[in-house]
Amino acid sequence: MLLEVGPAPFVRALARHGDRPAVITAETRLSYAALAERVAALAGRLGTTRRLVLLAGANRLDELVAYLAALAAGHPLLLVPGDNDLATAELTRAYDPDVVIRRVGGELRVQERRPTSRHELHPDLALLLSTSGSTGSPKLVRLSSANLQANAEAIASYLDIRDTDRAATTLPLHYCYGLSVVNSHLLRGAALVLTDLSVADTCFWDLFRAAQGTTLAGVPYTFDLLDRVGFDRMRLPHLRYLTQAGGRLDPERVARYADLGRRRGWRLFVMYGQTEATARMAYLPPELAESRPEAIGVPVPGGAFRLRPLPDWPAPDTGELVYSGPNVMLGYAESPADLALGRTVEELRTGDVARRGPDGLYEIVGRAGGFAKIFGLRVDPHRVEAHLRRDGFEAYCAGTDRELVVAATGGPDPERVRRSAAAAAGLPARAVRVHVLAELPRLTSGKPDYRAVRGLPPTPAPAVVPASGDADRLRRLYAELLDRPDVTPDDTFVGLGGDSLSYVEMSVRLEELLGDLPADWHTTAIRDLARPAPPPPTRRRVLETSVALRALAIVVIVGSHIPLFTVKGGAHLLLAVAGFNFARFQLTDAPRRERLRGAGRAIGRVVLPSVAWIAVAGAVTGDYTLTNVLLLNSVLGPHDGPTAWQFWFIEALVYILVAVAALLAVPAVDRAERRYPFGLPLALAALGLVTRYDLPGLAALGHVPDAVVMCWLFALGWAAARATRTAQRLVVTAAALATVPGLFGEPFREAFIVAGFTLLVWVPRLPSRPALNRAAATLAGSSLFIYLTHWQVMPIVGPWSRALALVVSLAVGIGCAAGVRALVRRVPRPVRMRTRPRAVTP
């Protein structure tokens, strides 16, 4: 079937907005012209023969391009959640798409299953969205290009969207509300601040401020998070308005936010909609939000309401709310055969009971059907009941604005019921409340009494089994290790100022509580890490490779210096690990100035204890000169003293950190790093090879500081942290294999560095045991102090026993690290927070 209809006009018009910013992310800024080029390229690959395309959507640039490209090429698009493999699999089986676009191994891939479509596709069909959130239900809403265009124009009109607006993608792309934000802003040539971060994450607000964000959209739960993060105290000078939909927001909160906006210079738009209306059907004019916070408002431009009389709701001006307008769907699809259908629906019966007030504003007063809207997701309680029956539970389910209430009988485990119901509804488990009853509530007719279920008191039986792995215990652990009494379940490790030293102990302690950790645990909210129970004692443990390498390297360094054995290369491997940690903990989404402050703190964390220890040791032993104390020996000399080389690694690390901080202080470089997070460090590594191979002949002119010769190792570690694709990992591995050999002319030493670096790139975690994790965490977390102090321990203990010298060196360094941490905690908190640095390594 050849292309018969064109895409929505806002998709065709992308290139007309020229060089205006279209997409802003933490890494890049893309103009409309550049976005249009990417869309056209992928549309060309998809071709003009119409096929059913399934896209696993996510708030990422590649997925956004794929969404627009499918529309631009005229292919009906089935948009599914990118974070739910089960839902994707269910819909793939149900609809057998011709093309599947989804992320595999961190890379978006286009799988063309057949060159033409096996389905009959109606020429008006443009988009298919689920009616029930992310559960994988085969019931889909069929939307046309005209639906998308009409709703985008209506929203842009009443919100007064301008080409200077910048809207954060606080909601998922596969959700009609989140998608409407994208469509309406692209229509007006405004920019999208594209992110999948939660508003509870400090990195989100760093990005929003840096992008000069003007717009936030949220469901009721979003406003819960805004309250928790102190939104009312935030300074957001560019914010123009908030929008709310996806369920009823308490009128008290509507009035409170409307008042806050009036005082701060922004507006609150409360909105009402359904997927079946492409997104929006009504909005409450902001000037009425304080006086009429319970209302949904008036129809959107181009739409109209009527009230269908209901026998159970005889009150005047009350009935089922029925909507008509150009954004009403074509109809439903429940199987591939339905994709051939044209329009089967002329108006939308919402299932909501509404009342029209004397002022013309509409207000929702109940439900005519059995659906519930929870966290912005449309939930069918009867479908959840059927799922529970298949799992062996007899239960009734009823929904409120904020939770799904489940009444179960037969003495089941309430936690199992809760998780089964949550999975069926596509809700977080915290949004399900379970009551185990002797008998299920029924009406005199024998039918289920859902009003009684909905009215069950909050705590007749606990719905959650407290466990040592829950969010509260994790919150206390974060507070203890990071010395932050203000920790909330929505905080993240990086957001709380965690660094590479505290990362070591935190990861090990979390492994003990939770078992395997996700690779991105340090940027994951505490509540999302919580598990219902601690892992069994026999569960296999893992250890972060970067932590293992730091622990191994410091043991190798000290043992080789004694010498108890000779395994060289540990310090050079640590330089690569330092670059790896620098990228993970310093190069966040924060604005440039905050990044520089973080880099300064990292440098201070290395410099201050080093200078203090070398000064004291030099005063006692007479081994060190002033240039040693000031970490300038590799520059000013002397270069021939017996102790001149002892702190080369400290000096090299500090010089490299200072140089990198200075480089990133240049706005153009900072922008380049965000746009090319892998390319920039790889380019710096290539530049560093100029001095690695001494192409300018510097060695002939005199002593060359180690930082100049070894800086490429730091840059290569930085690139390794940014290598998210297989091809990128292959590139950095090949770079190490090509450039490390020949560095010393010692094959074993060079092989040790290459082997450790390869592990860092390809194996993020290693099999381990609890005791080994504890030991590695202690050694890695104390590595700087072990490196500093072992020079004084070796001459004293070494003559007696080299093995004992190693043990005592490690113990003294560990003790010094613990003492410094205890001393820091005694410093008044305001002073500590101003001076507290972030560590990079060793």
Q: Which residue has the higher pLDDT, 744 or 111?
A: 111
Residue (of 115, 25, 107) closest to 66 by Cα position: 107
Best-predicted range by mean pLDDT (105-109, 670-674, 779-783, 789-793): 789-793
Cα–Cα dist 375/300, whole Å: 23
Average of pLDDT values for 57-79?
96
Q: What is the pLDDT of residue 21?
A: 97
| Cβ-proximal residues to 505 (8 Å cutoff; 6+ apart), any chain | 481, 777, 781
Average of pLDDT values for 296-303?
97
Question: pLDDT for 696-711, tens place per residue?
Answer: 888 887 788 889 999 9
| Cβ-proximal residues to 697 (8 Å cutoff; 6+ apart), any chain | none
CB 632 within 8 A of CB 703: no
Q: What is the pLDDT of residue 375?
A: 63
Q: What is the pLDDT of residue 392?
A: 86
Q: Is the pLDDT of residue 1 over 60?
A: no
User: How confident is the prediction for the chain on average, in pLDDT?
Assistant: 86
Q: Which residue has the higher pLDDT, 785 or 765?
A: 785
What is the SS3 assignment for 124? coil
Q: Is the pLDDT of residue 476 over 90?
A: no
The full DSSP string for 607-669 is HHHHHHHHHHHHHHH----HHHHTT-HHHH--SSSTTTTTTHHHHHHHHHHHHHHHHHTSHHH
CB 319 within 8 A of CB 352: no
Residue 832 has a CB neighbour count (10 Å cut-off) of 13
Q: What is the pLDDT of residue 643?
A: 76
Question: pLDDT for 580-625, tens place per residue?
Answer: 988 887 786 666 777 888 788 889 989 999 999 999 999 998 889 9
What is the band of 208 on the pLDDT scale with cuts at 50, 70, 90? very high
Q: Is the pLDDT of residue 532 over 60?
A: no
What is the band of 292 on the pLDDT scale with cuts at 50, 70, 90? very high
What is the band of 127 on the pLDDT scale with cuts at 50, 70, 90? very high
Best-predicted range by mean pLDDT (229-238, 390-399, 731-740): 731-740
Q: Is the pLDDT of residue 274 over 80?
A: yes
Q: Is the pLDDT of residue 382 over 90?
A: no
Q: Is the pLDDT of residue 829 over 50?
A: no
Please give the sequence-ordered ranges of beta strands (E in DSSP) within 348-460, or none if there are none. 348-356, 362-367, 372-374, 377-379, 394-399, 404-409, 432-437
Question: pLDDT for 8-41, tens place per residue?
Answer: 899 999 999 999 999 999 889 999 999 999 999 9
| Cβ-proximal residues to 42 (8 Å cutoff; 6+ apart), any chain | 65, 66, 69, 110
Name the least confident of 99-108, 215-224, 640-649: 640-649
CB-count burial class (<10 Å; 0-12, 13-18, 19+) for 125: buried
| Cβ-proximal residues to 160 (8 Å cutoff; 6+ apart), any chain | none
- CA dihedral for 671, 673, 675, 679, sign (positive or negative): positive
Residue 738 has a CB neighbour count (10 Å cut-off) of 10
CB 783 within 8 A of CB 504: no
Residue (of 605, 635, 604, 638) closest to 624 by Cα position: 638
Cα–Cα dist 161/215, whole Å: 10
Cα–Cα dist 333/315, whole Å: 35
Q: What is the pLDDT of residue 231?
A: 92
Q: What is the pLDDT of residue 535?
A: 42
The full DSSP string for 170-193 is -S-TTSHHHHHHHHHHHHTT-EEE
Question: pLDDT for 756-772, tens place per residue?
Answer: 999 999 998 888 887 88
Task: Give the position of tokens 């929870």.
Answer: 374
Q: Is the pLDDT of residue 410 over 50?
A: yes
Q: Is the pLDDT of residue 825 over 80?
A: no
Q: What is the pLDDT of residue 447?
A: 62
Q: What is the pLDDT of residue 314?
A: 67
Q: Is the pLDDT of residue 799 over 80?
A: yes
Name the least confident of 122-131, 327-336, 642-651, 808-817: 642-651
Which residues on adjacent β-strands are paired with residue 331?
Answer: 142
Average of pLDDT values for 823-831?
55
Average of pLDDT values for 348-376?
82
What is the band of 682 on the pLDDT scale with cuts at 50, 70, 90? very high
What is the band of 805 on the pLDDT scale with cuts at 50, 70, 90? very high
| Cβ-proximal residues to 76 (8 Å cutoff; 6+ apart), any chain | 50, 52, 53, 121, 125, 126, 127, 128, 339
Q: What is the pLDDT of residue 88?
A: 86
Query: Cα 711 from chain centroid?
Result: 31
Domains and CATH numbers, the chain: 9-366 (3.40.50.12780), 380-454 (3.30.300.30), 471-539 (1.10.1200.10), 546-834 (no CATH)
Residue (of 396, 393, 464, 453) closest to 428 by Cα position: 464
